[in-house]
Chain A
């Protein structure tokens, strides 16, 4: 509420800034020899320079600022639809889930997401709280998506893919930004960002409020408030640091255990992130990063009414009990603290190396999930090294290893080797072999949900304490509310990945082609075995995932941009034994999916974007039925103009024009009879920049 008030106050004061525009063109200052001779900070140091995509050891898709602005996406997960092999769904209509090559339930545990190098993975259940991340699309410079394991660089949980989000530094965002949006289903957004600078530093403050009522006839509305701060400080020509922090408070509605009862749950995500970098000389640099994430979820709902009979409890016939409800609680607190040191060294023209170490502590506390007030901590220590050796102008070897000592699952080794053959400066063929591990989440290892409902004998008020409740799939009026107790002793999941990739750019980068054939073997997959046993998780399943992916961009001139993606994924379940059918992964990714994005800019400052996605049949692993094939058609029309020296952009977004669809079948708690689905969305955005 405080943030909402702040937003309104600043919005009302915005016009004052409009009159403060610096337009004094007459105030010419003298250019002196110092402007030619003075040293200036090293910006593109050797460690900051990335290798060209022709020399990349992994398959990489870049979503740049232009694509973000052209897109109709209003959230990061929606942008991921552009990336070959990615699946995006909205559980309960408002909980985004992003995965690569399927294998996901509501907690997408097998991809890593980094914001400016900070992992935003939640240690409780795993996964990423997309809806509650303190980040806005307006501050993202680009998103680099590594399609495939990259634990050698980023550690465990960089298992199937890595999404690395890079935000603008504070200097890039000195221009004031005011953005307002409104649309059907009560879509609304207000964002205000302002920058300032001193001799050696730049600042940025962002406040935002946004919300949406979600699907028709379904309780999936959300509202969030966000406050962020960033400072970039230049210490001298060779060293600098940034510090950023933010908080997002999110309220979402859902239909809980009893879908006739709507309840609200609250999420709060905050962070502090500090990074210092220093160029030691032309060949080496060092960086130190320290961050802390805090995650808090307050969510409890009531189950449907449970009617137990004397037979259910082994009591003599004739005793009847009053109906009761169980409180389904998933409230928890979690934090992640991480310290990482990186050392970059380029000993020769043909060799460059990165090495370092990190130490991390994950803490999780939840009486509801663990039946104890104790805080679970997991300590992880890591050491890593990478080397890129250009043997000849045509042949490059890229190798690396991550050694990780994990408190839950001991020590793991994640090596990678890639051979890159460059046919020309613009085309290359790559073979890459890598392994990666996924450490079990705290909940998978230690969960202990125990329900203790109090029953009263009808007509007497006598209480009967039921210490455990394991009524599963009973009669119509008894819900399945099994206890869930982890057996513990879980091991890492493992993936062994082989891929052959091709990257080529043609006609001076006007056309790029990015393709790969992959074969992944995933073993020791941790699954919920509760349907077979009395709750818990076990390393029990094995999969083979293989297929092809294709991505292409075409930019014949500066006014037209096309992005094309295609993925063909086949997952075969190789699990043997008793738990082979506990969770079904074999169709957890669509056999085929397509994506097409077109941006056309017109001379009249109009631009038109079109997006079309077609996703085949697939199954989220926590849902019993298949998500039917669906397609999405979105349009965006924008007009740029100037007002009092500021840039004003109007955008009209028309989404889901090809009809209603479900991207997470049954939307979690929605019953099969509920026809809720994603329907047409209309949204108008107005953006004023540069005041």
Chain B
């Protein structure tokens, strides 16, 4: 367990001019204030010049802020927000083991199990789940495949290291899958590749389950995600709970609160009959409580 304890004066370090980050910082400030905690937000540029010994603990928003703290030899506990699991693990591995207990996180990623639960709730017609792994995610292949099987679904995976093969491999994967599960890996999913992936799967009548709202807007069938409000709520709750219990209950956790987005136009075009969004979300929330998804 991390030793982020009994802190009532928080420093929030956020990236400059980032709408999502700023909004999250403000909501956390408000939430802490309502709980009679004080906090102050600075940018990553200001962090370099500012001594943060006055603060009991630090909240970083985004990868840049987190990496600065990992490199800072801080003795203060740090809670990292808006950071992907892969990036947090990378930063953690970059420091000496004896300091790792200072760092905790609420990842930006959704647990794969939650994505699979969404697949299961969307429709009964999805049996085989296609997954593309790349150089930033192939280490998780075995774990994720096992998780897919736990949901009584069949994993069909490919690993693509050569970007020029991405589309042809996606085409072959689509022929053997009912739905493509996108997992965070920017060697596979990026602004340049997403067009080819979405068009290729669409022509094969295979929907994509994205990992952000932007993917749904671009053409994915659905995604589970956490909003600014969801993350700030969990953050404030975690900090308050920490205050009262003396330690962080969950030092590294996935988002607790979430929402789903569905692209009904894509569903209609692919002739996929989906369950009602409210029912899906309700079922997911219920199962999340029961199964810790």
Q: Which residues of A contact B (CB under 8 A)?
A: 21-33, 35-46, 49-54, 64-66, 141-142, 168-169, 171-176, 195, 197, 199, 202, 234, 425-426, 505, 508-509, 558, 645, 647, 689-691
User: Is there an interface contact between A40 and B218, defined as CB atoms closer than 8 Å?
Assistant: yes
**A54, chain B: closest CB distance, angstroms:** 6
User: Is there an interface contact between B195 and A690, defined as CB atoms closer than 8 Å?
Assistant: no
Q: How far is the CA of A580 from the CA of B227 in the complex (A)?
A: 74
User: Is there an interface contact between B218 and A44, defined as CB atoms closer than 8 Å?
Assistant: yes
User: Is there an interface contact between B269 and A51, defined as CB atoms closer than 8 Å?
Assistant: yes
Q: How far is the CA of A141 from the CA of B269 in the complex (A)?
A: 18
User: Is there an interface contact between B211 and A36, defined as CB atoms closer than 8 Å?
Assistant: yes
User: Is there an interface contact between B269 and A52, defined as CB atoms closer than 8 Å?
Assistant: yes
Do most interface residues of chain A lie in helix, strand or loop, or is the interface mixed?
A: loop
User: Is there an interface contact between A31 and B86, defined as CB atoms closer than 8 Å?
Assistant: yes
Using CB atoms, name the residue of chain B closest to A53: B271
Other-chain residue from A28, A142, A176 in contact with B135 (beta carbon distance below 8 A): A28
User: Is there an interface contact between A174 and B214, defined as CB atoms closer than 8 Å?
Assistant: no
**B155, chain A: closest CB distance, angstroms:** 14
Using CB atoms, name the residue of chain A closest to B204: A64
Q: How far is the CA of A52 from the CA of B272 in the complex (A)?
A: 9
Residues of A within 8 A of B268 (CB): 49, 51-52
Residues of B within 8 A of A49 (CB): 265-266, 268-269
For the complex with contacts A41-B218, A44-B269, A65-B171, 19 further pairs of A-B residues with Cβ separation under 8 Å are A22-B164, A29-B186, A35-B84, A35-B186, A39-B217, A40-B218, A43-B194, A43-B198, A44-B266, A51-B268, A52-B268, A53-B271, A65-B203, A172-B167, A173-B167, A175-B165, A202-B192, A234-B195, A558-B128
Interface positions of B from 186 to 204, Cβ below 8 Å from A: 186-187, 189-196, 198-200, 202-204
Q: Is B99 an interface residue (CB 8 A)?
A: no
Q: How far is the CA of A46 from the CA of B265 in the complex (A)?
A: 7
Subset of 8 A-B contacts with CB under 8 Å: A33-B108, A36-B212, A39-B214, A40-B191, A46-B265, A171-B195, A425-B273, A645-B162
User: Is there an interface contact between B269 and A36, defined as CB atoms closer than 8 Å?
Assistant: no
User: Is there an interface contact between B163 and A30, defined as CB atoms closer than 8 Å?
Assistant: no
Q: How far is the CA of A172 from the CA of B84 in the complex (A)?
A: 28
Q: How far is the CA of A552 from the CA of B202 in the complex (A)?
A: 21
Other-chain residue from B63, B185, B194 in contact with A41 (beta carbon distance below 8 A): B194
**B59, chain A: closest CB distance, angstroms:** 14
Interface size on B, residues (CB 8 A): 64
Q: Is B111 an interface residue (CB 8 A)?
A: no
Q: Is B161 an interface residue (CB 8 A)?
A: yes
Q: How far is the CA of A197 from the CA of B189 in the complex (A)?
A: 16
On whether A41 and B187 interact (CB within 8 A), knowing A28-B136, A46-B265, the answer reads no
User: Is there an interface contact between A690 and B168, defined as CB atoms closer than 8 Å?
Assistant: yes
Using CB atoms, name the residue of chain B closest to A37: B20
**A241, chain B: closest CB distance, angstroms:** 13
Q: How far is the CA of A118 from the CA of B183 in the complex (A)?
A: 37
User: Is there an interface contact between B191 and A41, defined as CB atoms closer than 8 Å?
Assistant: yes
Residues of A within 8 A of B178 (CB): 508
User: Is there an interface contact between A171 and B167, defined as CB atoms closer than 8 Å?
Assistant: yes
On whether A42 and B217 interact (CB within 8 A), knowing A30-B90, A690-B164, the answer reads yes
User: Is there an interface contact between B215 and A40, defined as CB atoms closer than 8 Å?
Assistant: yes
Residues of A within 8 A of B108 (CB): 33, 36
User: Is there an interface contact between B135 and A36, defined as CB atoms closer than 8 Å?
Assistant: no
Residues of A within 8 A of B165 (CB): 175, 647, 689-690
User: Is there an interface contact between A25 and B135, defined as CB atoms closer than 8 Å?
Assistant: yes
On whether A30 and B175 interact (CB within 8 A), knowing A52-B268, A172-B167, A690-B168, the answer reads no
Residues of B within 8 A of A40 (CB): 191, 194, 214-215, 217-218
Using CB atoms, name the residue of chain B closest to A27: B135
Using CB atoms, name the residue of chain B closest to A195: B164
Q: How far is the CA of A49 from the CA of B164 in the complex (A)?
A: 26
Residues of B within 8 A of A425 (CB): 271, 273
Q: How far is the CA of A169 from the CA of B200 in the complex (A)?
A: 10
Q: Is B144 an interface residue (CB 8 A)?
A: no
Q: Is B125 an interface residue (CB 8 A)?
A: yes
User: Is there an interface contact between A35 and B199, defined as CB atoms closer than 8 Å?
Assistant: no
**B192, chain A: closest CB distance, angstroms:** 7
Other-chain residue from A35, A64, A647 in contact with B189 (beta carbon distance below 8 A): A35
User: Is there an interface contact between B167 and A31, defined as CB atoms closer than 8 Å?
Assistant: no
Q: Is B95 an interface residue (CB 8 A)?
A: no
User: Is there an interface contact between B184 and A35, defined as CB atoms closer than 8 Å?
Assistant: yes
Residues of A within 8 A of B32 (CB): none
User: Is there an interface contact between A169 and B84, defined as CB atoms closer than 8 Å?
Assistant: no
Residues of B within 8 A of A234 (CB): 191, 195
Residues of A within 8 A of B194 (CB): 40-41, 43
Chain B 109-134 near chain A by CB (<8 Å), digits 1 or 0: 10000000000000001001000000
Using CB atoms, name the residue of chain A closest to B269: A49
Other-chain residue from A27, A142, A171 in contact with B192 (beta carbon distance below 8 A): A171
Residues of A within 8 A of B20 (CB): 33, 37
**B209, chain A: closest CB distance, angstroms:** 14
Chain B 138-178 near chain A by CB (<8 Å), digits 1 or 0: 10000000000000000000000111111110010001101
**A520, chain B: closest CB distance, angstroms:** 29
Interface positions of B from 251 to 284, Cβ below 8 Å from A: 263, 265-266, 268-271, 273
Q: How far is the CA of A173 from the CA of B138 in the complex (A)?
A: 24
User: Is there an interface contact between A171 and B86, defined as CB atoms closer than 8 Å?
Assistant: no
Q: Is B83 an interface residue (CB 8 A)?
A: yes
User: Is there an interface contact between B175 and A23, defined as CB atoms closer than 8 Å?
Assistant: no
Residues of B within 8 A of A54 (CB): 271
On whether A43 and B135 interact (CB within 8 A), knowing A30-B86, A35-B189, A425-B271, the answer reads no
Q: How far is the CA of A48 from the CA of B21 in the complex (A)?
A: 33
On whether A171 and B175 interact (CB within 8 A), knowing A27-B135, A142-B203, the answer reads no
**A237, chain B: closest CB distance, angstroms:** 9
User: Is there an interface contact between A426 and B271, defined as CB atoms closer than 8 Å?
Assistant: yes
Residues of B within 8 A of A66 (CB): 175
On whether A31 and B218 interact (CB within 8 A), knowing A22-B162, A171-B193, the answer reads no
User: Is there an interface contact between A25 and B196, defined as CB atoms closer than 8 Å?
Assistant: no
On whether A25 and B138 interact (CB within 8 A), knowing A36-B211, A43-B219, A142-B203, the answer reads yes
**B178, chain A: closest CB distance, angstroms:** 8
Q: Is B77 an interface residue (CB 8 A)?
A: no
**A92, chain B: closest CB distance, angstroms:** 36
**B164, chain A: closest CB distance, angstroms:** 4
Q: Is B87 an interface residue (CB 8 A)?
A: yes
Using CB atoms, name the residue of chain A closest to B139: A28
User: Is there an interface contact between A43 and B218, defined as CB atoms closer than 8 Å?
Assistant: yes
Residues of B within 8 A of A51 (CB): 268-269
Q: 10 closest Cβ contacts across the A-B interface? A: A44-B219, A52-B271, A175-B164, A49-B269, A171-B196, A32-B63, A43-B198, A174-B164, A43-B219, A558-B176
